[in-house]
Amino acid sequence: MEKTNNDGYLETKGNLLLVEDDPGIGRIVRDHLRRENYAVSWATTGLECWEDFCSGEYDLVLVDLMLPEMDGFTLCKNIRLKSEVPLLIMSARSEDESKVRAFGLGADDYITKPFSLTELSLRVDVHLRKFRKYQKGAEEKSHILTYYGGLTIDPVLKQAMYENEPIALTSKEWLLLMLLASHPGRQFSKSELYEHVWQQEAIDGGNTVTVHIKGLRMKLKDNIRNPKYIQTVWGSGYRFIGEPQ
């Protein structure tokens, strides 16, 4: 991983994460964005990018699709489940199928190689302006609790309550609840839940997820036969069905 320190600049325009396995392209993009006064971290594999994203704070991620260790599609899906940060795809794949798939997994933009560095900078600027407006609105509402039936979730204090009584959740139960509740109606497989909550490959994590979902349901007083919050999608996984008040 290479990190630029932007020596000589009083303040950078943003902190970017770039993943590009071609050293020539990666160096050109990194150096250009540095000249545009961005701080840039450069990863050369999908897995390296994912690990760096999980351990750092970034304003935008630039993703190549054809990557070793973890392809760009999987990387987009993982990042989008964790964050609303803008995702800009840079790829030589110009077919509509790749674009549709990337946007479906949460990408915000798609630029085809070869591209103009000036155009790339403009797209980065536009997406950062939009993201910062979104962040400002989210911060203004951060004090507002979210309610689902008798369930109250406070993401700032990391506290859940049922009928105004605090619920003693384990760290994994809290992460499961937040992942499901922040994507209402979306179906998650057990493998997806395990990979995002336990941060490990789901080789045999299905039973672990089942046990933790069972415990979470008990604490939420959620009847599996007539659920208010967590619905089992038989043979597939789970989805959050709580109705906001």
What are the structural domains, with CATH classification, of the chain?
2-139 (3.40.50.2300), 146-240 (1.10.10.10)
Q: In 3D, which of 213, 196, 204, 206 has the Cα closest to residue 235?
A: 206
Spell out, as residue ranges, where the chain has pLDDT lower than 70.
Answer: 1-10, 137-145, 202, 204-205
pLDDT at position 147? 73
Angle at 60 between CA 104 and CA 187, to 5 degrees: 30
* Residue with the two structure tokens 């979902």: 213
Nearest partner of 128 among 87, 169, 97, judged by Cα: 87
pLDDT at residue number 138: 59
Distance CA(238)–CA(222), nearest Å, equals: 13
Q: Over the stretch 202-241, which tens digit does the pLDDT of each residue have? A: 676 678 999 999 999 999 999 888 999 999 998 889 999 9
> What is the predicted pLDDT for the residue at 132?
84
H/E element, 126: helix 117-140
Distance CA 211, CA 200 (A): 17
